[in-house]
């Protein structure tokens, strides 16, 4: 078949799903991801994702976290209201990087409501310049971990054309949740950092053929998107999904789809096909939408099968 899946480890291809020590490099039964506590409610909702805006919401017994604030303040309020929540009760906003589709509503939500913004120093400086406001920032060093209530947030650098872009692994009482969006390619380090995830938000920005045949974008823009500091294609996302597929990983949300250079079903099929070739049929692959929040998922419902 195509070279897309060629990056998957040979062991992963050979190993049966449902066994525990499938991965060559690690024991997937060990580590933090199995801290699931029966009965703990951890709810996750992607409020919207795409090239024009990205925002997600995570709620645990002691944390209410927005991950990126890439819609207008009004839109964020409306989308939170659609799940019965409001910005007033947020305890933190995490910011991946300063591009406007990740910070558009940050000034309104964070400054007016006094919600702490967790970001690195360069992202803060860039965001304050773009938004022309001061943020109440809780600065982290890229690569460090910090706590927000009962959530431990691991941060790691991703290759993207921003000042200091990061991905996140959010370790909650009901399992781990990975954020890999806006990255030109997924380094081994990046893949390792989200390997314990039960749920992964993964960029699938464009289809290569649709991008190449697009007439709206100038050549330089296409080169930027395709570069190693640009955005993940559907094929690249499928490769990443295969690389980090484990017994534990139960659900992938494909994010940041280009309106012009992608099709939701094409993105999903590209990833599903490669995962199916790998035998990883236990991983549900969902699309996200720019316009509509995804259904809320309870992380504890995605836990490893018992026994
Ligand atoms: Zn973006
Ligand atoms: Zn970006």
User: Which pLDDT tens digit goes with each residue over 41-74?
Assistant: 999 999 999 999 999 999 999 999 999 999 999 9
Going along the chain from its start, the domains and CATH numbers come out as 39-290 (3.60.15.10)
CA distance 143 to 69: 21
Token readout for 90 is 């947020």
Q: How far is the CA of 249 from the centre of ligand 2 (A)?
A: 25
19 CA to middle of ligand 1, Å? 36
Query: What's the confidence (pLDDT) of residue 114?
Result: 87
Cα–Cα distance between 237 and 241 in angstroms, integer?
6
Give the pLDDT score at 278. Answer: 96
Distance 21 CA to ligand 2 centre (A): 36
Q: Which ligand is in closest contact with the Cα of 183?
A: 2
Predicted pLDDT of residue 14: 36
Q: Order of strands, edge to edge, in the sheet holding 166-172?
A: 145-148, 151-157, 166-172, 175-180, 199-203, 251-255, 284-287
Distance CA 238, CA 61 (A): 33
pTM listed for this prediction: 0.86
d(CA 12, CA 19): 11
CA of 162 to the centre of ligand 2 (A): 7
Distance 62 CA to ligand 2 centre (A): 29
Would you say 92 and 119 are in contact if contact means Cβ atoms under 8 Å apart?
no
Residue ranges of the chain whose pLDDT lies below 50: 1-36, 305-307
CA dist 99 and 69 (Å) reads 10
State residue 227 phi and psi, 5-degree precision: -70, 170
In this prediction, residue 274 carries a pLDDT of 97
Distance 99 CA to ligand 1 centre (A): 6
Q: Which of 157, 147, 156, 140 is nearest to 63 (CA)?
A: 147
Q: Which ligand is in closest contact with the Cα of 160?
A: 2
Antiparallel, parallel or unpaired: β 251-255 and 199-203: parallel
Using CA atoms, how far residue 68 sits from 100, 107, 112, in Å, is: 10, 12, 16
**Nearest ligand atom owner, CA of 158:** 2
| Half-sphere exposure of residue 114: CA atoms within 13 angstroms, side-chain side | 0
Q: How far is the CA of 114 from the centre of ligand 1 (A)?
A: 24
Tracing tokens 């799940």 back to the chain, one arrives at 83
Distance 99 CA to ligand 2 centre (A): 5
Q: Report the separation in Å between the CA atom of 256 and the middle of ligand 1, taken as the mean of its atom positions.
A: 7
Measured in angstroms, how far is the CA atom of residue 184 from the centroid of ligand 2? 10
Residue 284 Cα to ligand 2 midpoint, Å, equals 26
User: Coil, strand or helix: which one is 102?
Assistant: helix
- Return the pLDDT at 304: 57
Ordered alpha helix ranges (H), the chain = 10-14, 73-81, 100-103, 106, 112-113, 121-131, 188-193, 208-213, 219-226, 234-244, 264-278
CA of 182 to the centre of ligand 2 (A): 5
Using alpha carbons only, how large is the chain's radius of gyration in Å? 18
């Amino acid at each position: 078949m195509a070279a897309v899946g060629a990056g998957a480890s040979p062991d992963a291809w050979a190993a049966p799903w449902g066994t525990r020590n499938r991965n060559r490099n690690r024991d997937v039964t060990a580590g933090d991801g199995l801290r699931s506590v029966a009965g703990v409610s951890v709810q996750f909702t992607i409020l919207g994702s795409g090239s024009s805006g990205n925002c997600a919401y995570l709620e645990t017994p002691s944390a209410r976290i927005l991950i990126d604030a890439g819609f207008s303040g009004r839109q964020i309020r409306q989308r939170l209201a659609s799940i019965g929540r409001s910005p007033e009760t947020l305890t933190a906003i995490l910011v991946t990087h300063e591009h406007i589709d990740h910070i558009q509503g940050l000034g309104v939500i964070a400054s007016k409501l006094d919600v702490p913004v967790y970001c690195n120093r360069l992202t803060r400086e860039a965001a304050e310049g773009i938004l022309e406001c001061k943020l109440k920032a809780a600065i982290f060093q890229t690569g460090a971990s910090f706590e927000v209530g009962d959530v431990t947030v691991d941060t790691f650098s991703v290759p993207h054309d921003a000042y200091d872009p990061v991905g996140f692994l959010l370790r909650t009482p009901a399992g781990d949740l990975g954020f890999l969006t806006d990255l030109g390619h997924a380094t081994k380090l990046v893949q390792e950092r989200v390997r314990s995830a039960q749920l992964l938000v993964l960029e699938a920005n464009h289809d290569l053929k649709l991008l190449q045949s697009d007439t709206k974008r100038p050549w330089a823009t296409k080169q930027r998107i395709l570069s190693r500091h640009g955005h993940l294609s559907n094929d690249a996302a499928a490769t990443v999904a295969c690389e980090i597929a484990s017994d534990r990983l139960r659900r992938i949300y494909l994010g940041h789809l280009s309106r012009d250079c992608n099709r939701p079903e094409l993105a999903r099929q590209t990833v599903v096909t490669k995962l199916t070739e790998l035998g990883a049929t236990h991983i549900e692959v969902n699309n996200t939408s720019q316009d509509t929040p995804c259904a809320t998922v309870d992380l504890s419902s995605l836990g490893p099968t018992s026994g």
